[in-house]
Chain A
């Protein structure tokens, strides 16, 4: 009789102890796995840079000689600002403050796009000065690392625009805001990578 009461729906449900899965929803788990692969990607770039720099110290100039530290410091500050606006957006949607969510997301998009714009300005001036990617180890490693990072920021800004549009469409609530959290994780990771890059590329 007990078997007769079991419906097809019951059979298809996961056992209670498996229902929680990994304890995290799918999109967030996927983002963390992706960020793990990104850690390996940037480690390959940064690790190679450090080894090359130790092996060929004469190929690098002291800080501030070739690279424009004040401009890049401004950019670093901008990226830190964008991280706090992003996390404030996340906090706002958690609290159900949807208009604040939209304002913080717009601020993040604007600041992120400003970062990319300043990086383009920096590249333009460096190339005008003759510091090009083919300029030995210094040039090639500089453009490889900062270029890939800038590419990641650009992708982040585009994704952020997508999330902002969805926020204006009312897609996020205090109960379901996966998109905001997942893009936030990516954005903070990009900020974290820049913190390391700024120090080892521009200040050391």
Chain B
């Protein structure tokens, strides 16, 4: 009698359906980043922002520095606290997908004011 080949599903696969029909979350696939070190860095960047904001420099320089530091902090949170650095490509695409739409949205609204 021919044996029916069962689908090969590894019991250790992180998304193997359970008996309840639900997926289980992935086990830790990477070592923990230095979360406290990142927190210290975020705090230092915040202190630097507070200093730069009140320096007697040209306003455009201050704005560029502040936006640069804010984006740096946001990237650290996204990459390490939200684990985008370690996620699958699909999740990264899903996370970054709205950004081009954001540019289109702001550009569309800007045309109402400036053109």
- A interface residues, Cβ below 8 angstroms from B: 1-2, 5-6, 10, 13, 15-16, 19-26, 28-29, 32-33, 35-37, 39-40, 43-44, 47-48, 50-52, 54-55, 63-64, 69, 73, 76-77, 80-81, 83-84, 86-88, 91, 94-95, 174-178, 181, 184-185, 188-189, 191-192, 195-196, 198-200, 203-204
Contact = CB atoms under 8 A, between A and B. Distances in A.
Nearest to A63: B53
A196 B81 contact: no
A15 B7 contact: yes
What are the nearest 3 A-B pairs in CB distance? A47-B106, A25-B23, A199-B70
Interface in B5-24: 6-9, 13, 15-17, 22-24
Number of contact residues on B: which range applies?
35 or more
Contact of A36 (B49, B81, B97): B97
Given A32-B94, A43-B105, A76 B46 contact: yes
Interface of B: 1-4, 6-9, 13, 15-17, 22-28, 32, 35-36, 38-39, 42-43, 46, 49-50, 53-54, 62-63, 66-67, 69-70, 73-74, 77-78, 80-82, 88, 90-91, 94-95, 97-99, 101-102, 105-106, 109-110, 113-114
A52 B114 CA distance: 11
